[in-house]
Amino acid sequence: MKNINQQYILKNGKEITIRNGAVTDAEKLRKTVKKYIGESEYIPQLPEEYTLTIEEQENWIKSFIEKENSIMLIAEYHNDIIGNIDINGSVRKAMQHTGGIGMGMLQEWTNSGLGTALMTCAVEWAKQNKILEILWLQVYTDNIGGVSLYKKMGFQESGLIKNYFKQDGKYFDNMTMSLSVK
């Protein structure tokens, strides 16, 4: 159930592969994440704050491989990592049926259908997982594309924190959205 290796043809006509993340992806993934953090206005982290070493990145990937209620998926185009999504299942007994989603992609791949492909793979995996019942994520309310994608996938608004993010003196609201997968 955990092995995923699927091809998708995106709106831009390019064929990509979505597969399980592996420890050997650590260095390439680290570079991709650092790049998309710098490109995105909707990730509440600065590139200089992303300081994982290769070993820490390897351990982070390993944590998704080892937990039954978690998965990390990598999107590749010609062996380059262009995006990723993860479901981080809670280790706490009372919340192990829940998994938080994190997703990112390189700017040049936005609006190509990559987000839909990543989200589809992750949600389908979660629906087959014996432990997970609820997926949740957080999104800037200003991120119209993200909110639209999550609604299209069936996520519903669960809560709102006003002025949660502050960047360059401007405040942004944080919306939590959730999806039942059982």
Q: Which of 116, 130, 136, 138 is nearest to 182 (CA)?
A: 130
Number of domains the chain contains: 1
Q: Which of 140, 79, 151, 80 is nearest to 115 (CA)?
A: 151
122 burial class (0-12, 13-18, 19+ CB within 10 angstroms)? Answer: buried
Q: Any idea how long the chain is?
A: 182
Mean pLDDT of 105-116: 96
String of DSSP letters for 153-170: TT-EEEEEEEEEEEETTE
Q: From residue 25, how far is each of 7, 51, 54 by CA, in Å?
A: 18, 17, 10
Cβ–Cβ < 8 Å for 101, 86: yes
Q: What is the CATH number of the domain that holds 36?
A: 3.40.630.30
User: What's the chain's average pLDDT?
Assistant: 95
With a cut of 70, say whether residue 70 has pLDDT above it: yes
Here the tokens at position 68 are: 């039954």
With a cut of 70, say whether residue 1 has pLDDT above it: no
70 burial class (0-12, 13-18, 19+ CB within 10 angstroms)? Answer: buried
Q: Which domain holds residue 48?
A: 5-180
If pLDDT is split at 50, 70 and 90, which confidence band does 2 have?
confident
Which residues partner with 72 through β-bridges?
A: 86
Cβ–Cβ < 8 Å for 151, 178: no
Per DSSP bridges, beta strands 134-140 and 98-105 are parallel
Q: Per residue in 119-152, pLDDT tens?
A: 999 999 999 999 999 999 999 999 999 999 999 9
